[in-house]
Amino acid sequence: MKTIRAYRFALDLTPGQERDVLAHAGAARVAHNWALAKVKAVMDQRSCERSYGVPEEHLTPSPSWSLAGLRRAWNAVKSEVAPWWAEVSKEAFNTGLDAVARSLKNWADSRKSMRAGRPVGFPRFKSRRRTTPSVRFTTGAIRVEPDRMHAVLPRLGRLKLHESARKLARRLDNGTARIMSATVRRDGGRWHVSFTVEVERAERAPARPDSVVGVDVGIKHLAVLSTGELVDNPRHLVAARRRMRTLGRALSRKTGPDRRTGRRGSKRWERACARLGRAHARVANLRRDGLHKLTTRLAREYGTVVIEDLNVSGMLQNRRLARHIADAGFAEIRRRLAYKTTWNGGLLLVADRWYPSSKTCSGCGAVKTKLALSEREFTCPACGLVIDRDRNAALNLAALAAEFDTAGSGPVAARGADRKTRQRGQVAVKREPGTTPVDQTGTVLPQGRTTDRVRSPERTER
């Protein structure tokens, strides 16, 4: 099975190498801004001509928005726009032009309702000081040195890695991996190189292929499993807030940049800003490491994992819980489980967004009409079952796997299914996009379209 993976390594650059990388990132920004300005100028010109009543066939010809068209236009004028173009790799300019081509396509598709998700705005120009410097290499000499502590990139030469690249080097030596591109990017005050690799993965099976686990994510506990296991929420952002407040106050006392007068920030302001950036990067790294360990363990151990389709964007509208929800990373848990279960031969089932997992009794199936957030224990009015609400939700999610199997050809509940609280036996789950939503009895469920701004009452209470 061939998959696309990314191997990311920190770099230890010399001052000269850092200047070279910044020069490549600056070249990408110049090409990006030039292409965007050219497209925007023609669009404005055509808009003015239409206001004057000029027929469509006599309007100024619109330039090509494809990468190939933008590259041809750039090559024709690069000697005038960037006389220093020969000092950097051609991949630097290709990075900026490719970003413009992709962003314009996403904007056009969003306007035509050909792209799912939130509306995409028109591309913006990149600033020298506010843009994260990065450059992507797709051709040329891209390899890992035999000592596994150095990487070679076009025009940049031999770069030292902060850690060993033995995992990637073993695959390259065995012929089970092929490097497709390499991206150099500065993140959290450090430079990193990310290799996009096509990997030939062996077929795997979970440790318990017939087991089913329901995963209910939350704030008090990051995840509650139907097996009874409680995964603590480390709350990395809460633990680092005191240091971040101190660094933020120190930064506010320095002389920062002023866009109105063109004043640049002082050296002390730059150092204080770098310290605050490293503190934020540490929190992000800790969160990323914890989520990777959790999702990898679930994907390797259980054959079927059932989670919920949470409206995270809507949940973030809750001003009291938004910081904690963002710190937990609910969306990242689902995204990583989606590809890790595929890698390990498992199955990921996603319960419908409106499925009342917390309101349904895991013992008898009775559904409560209301369940306040303050009620941390679920008490069934029918059978008298008293159980933790998160454990109850996890058990209900695990039970969905059996209902899914009895439905025959694998029904799914499309996004935007009816918002009414269904009785037990009418629950649908997602497996693959593009199939017809039906319930357990085979009845086709109504479909509609919802936006991410609508909050689920069930998710809001939790």
Query: How many angstroms separate the CA atoms of 309 and 303, rounded?
Result: 19
**Amino acid code (one letter) for 242:** R
Name the helix (H) or strand (E) containing 343. helix 330-343
The gap between the terminal CA atoms of the chain, to the nearest Å, is 39
Residue 44 is a catalytic residue: no
Does 301 participate in catalysis according to the annotation?
Answer: no
Asked if residues 356 and 399 have their Cβ atoms less than 8 Å apart, the reply is: no
Give the C-alpha separation, 169 to 178, whole Å: 10
Task: Give the C-alpha separation, 406 to 400, whole Å.
Answer: 10
Residue 186 bridge partners (DSSP):
191
Q: How far is CA 389 from CA 47, 110, 226, 368, 447, in A?
A: 58, 40, 11, 12, 29
Catalytic one among 352, 390, 439, 458? Answer: 390
Which residue among 91, 308, 439, 458 is the active-site one? 308
Both tokens of 30, joined, read 């110049």
Residue 132 is classified by DSSP as: P
Distance CA 45, CA 43 (A): 5
Dig out the tokens for 405 from the structure.
């199997």
The reply to whether 20 belongs to the active site is: no
Tell me the residue type at 214.
G
133 and 22 in contact (C-beta within 8 Å)? yes
Interatomic CA distance for residues 98 and 56, integer angstroms: 28
Q: 20, 91, 98, 216: which one is catalytic?
A: 216
Tell me which amino acid residue 397 is.
Answer: L
Report which secondary-structure segment, H or E, holds 247: helix 236-252
- List the beta bridge partners of residue 6: 196
391 token code pair? 């454990």
Half-sphere exposure of 266 (CA within 13 A, CB side): 9
Rounded to an integer, what distance in angstroms lies between the CA atom of residue 328 and that of residue 331?
A: 9
Strand-pairing partners, residue 158, are 152
299 DSSP assignment: H
Backbone angles phi, psi at 401, to 5 degrees: -65, -40
Residues labelled as active-site residues: 216, 308, 390
